[in-house]
Amino acid sequence: MIDYSPLRGGEEMILVEVAPRDIDFFNKLLEGYDNLALVTTLDAKLGKLALWVTKHAKKDVLAILKCLPVPVHVLEARS
């Protein structure tokens, strides 16, 4: 179970899954987008990551996830 308690005012979370071997590369890719999202690894063995975004950046981040050179499965987008 994921603890959503860090969510405050303008923060939103997108839960994604990537291949465990792609976690570092995925993080670097998002850093290249001017840090639109803060990436937190929830389970490295399963490749589960939380992306912390502002409500204004969420739409852009979801669009970017579809264009990355690594497969990304969006598990949940929560506000």
| CATH architecture label of 11-78 | 2-Layer Sandwich (3.30)
Q: What pTM does this model have? A: 0.84
What values do phi and psi take at 50, rounded to 5? -110, 135
**pLDDT > 90: percent of the chain:** 73
Domain boundaries, the chain: 11-78
Q: How far apart are CA 71 and CA 79, in angstroms?
A: 23
Q: Are the CB atoms for 76 and 14 separated by under 8 Å?
A: yes
Separation of alpha carbons 22 and 39, rounded Å: 13
Residue that has been written with the tokens 């990304």 in this structure: 72
What mean pLDDT, rounded, does the chain reach?
89
| Per-residue pLDDT at 28 exceeds 60 | yes
